[in-house]
Homo-oligomer: A and B are copies of this chain.
Amino acid sequence: MRGVVLHTPGDVRVEKRPDPMIIEPTDAIIRVTAACVCGSDLWPYRGVEKLEGPVPMGHEYVGVVEEVGSEVTTIKPGQFVVGSFWASDNTCEICRSGYQSACVHRVLMGTIGTQAEWARIPLADGTLVATPGMPDADLIPSLLAASDVLGTGWFGAVAAQAGPGKTVAVVGDGAVGLCAVLAAKQLGAERIIAMSRHAPRQELARQFGATDIVTERGDEGVARIKELTGGLGAHSVVEAVGTQESMTQAVRSTRPGGHMGFVGVSHDVSLPGDELFFSLVHLHGGPAPVREYLPELIELIANREIDPGKVFDLTLPLAQAAEGYRAMDERRAIKVLLTP
């Protein structure tokens, strides 16, 4: 089959890879209907994360089940399924507490590479959620978004305790940040402040439910959030970038006793203990337990109550994956959908 491989930073190729096969009796093989490029794929693409030789890429996927292992009982060939970037058994104590991304048997899909024609999904019963019937074609982008960016933004908003009566600020206007805006809206937040200086992203943030846009960053961004919140800071702040600047901005934008959810993959970030201590902020974040939210998100999408697929502003055939990476790297695209 054909799949995306990153050889060295910037060198994305679509090349022949071995067809996936059932290895464990709990595996499934899916024919990938749509995959995409993630903001986190840009870290190795840009050389910020070290690469140990060529690696298959991609961890977001929706598709149709082709084959299942002998121990798979709930997932069946022919089903349209959505999964998360962590394969999880969904039965261990950590999964049952809602943290499938820390499942004791978890497998990172990034090591498998879903930007490809087919993919092997470990722990299929725990990982995959079937849609109610075969979805209409126009729902595919939203279902694909649920596989990562929507689930991640959702977790950020939940971790930040977005809800009725709350003012929520979102740091980061990538697909995850925009989905956090959508999540905050769905969770009932009263006011949603999107921090963005890019007109098309501001526009999408507004469509997703943002009530205010703040273009300032760093200390000026913090000052602006304080101005908008009676000097106190936001009740809830979602951090969706992962840099020192964005984490610092997020902590300082949260009021004492408020909640900060951080879902940007952390890179070279160091948090001073005394600042955290005196901030009195609740911090929670990490790799989102997307699996926990998938049934609810799929239902909202199937009922056309939310349309997170709007984050995909560029669709390319898998063969043009390199152009997809370039477009995201240069911020010409918010998120790129790839069709095998």
Decide: A262 and B282 in contact? CB cutoff 8 A. no
Contact flag A286-B282 (CB < 8 Å), given A98-B257, A232-B93:
no
Nearest CB to that of A235 among chain B residues? B97
Nearest CB to that of A266 among chain B residues? B273
Decide: B282 and A282 in contact? CB cutoff 8 A. yes
Contact with B along A275-296 (1 / 0, CB 8 A): 0111111111111010000000
- List residues 265-322 of chain A with CB under 8 A from any CB of chain B: 265-274, 276-287, 289
A191 within 8 A of B: no
Q: Determine the chain B residues whose CB is within 8 A of the CB of A277 once the complex forms.
A: 242, 262, 265-266, 285-287
A255 to B284, CA, bound (A): 13
A276 to B244, CA, bound (A): 13
Nearest CB to that of A103 among chain B residues? B256
Contact flag A230-B274 (CB < 8 Å), given A99-B256, A257-B98:
no
Decide: B276 and A287 in contact? CB cutoff 8 A. no
Q: Which 7 A-B pairs have the closest CB atoms?
A: A269-B273, A102-B256, A266-B273, A99-B257, A280-B286, A266-B277, A283-B283
Among B232, B271, B282, the residue within 8 A (CB) of A276 is B271
Decide: B93 and A280 in contact? CB cutoff 8 A. no
A101 within 8 A of B: yes
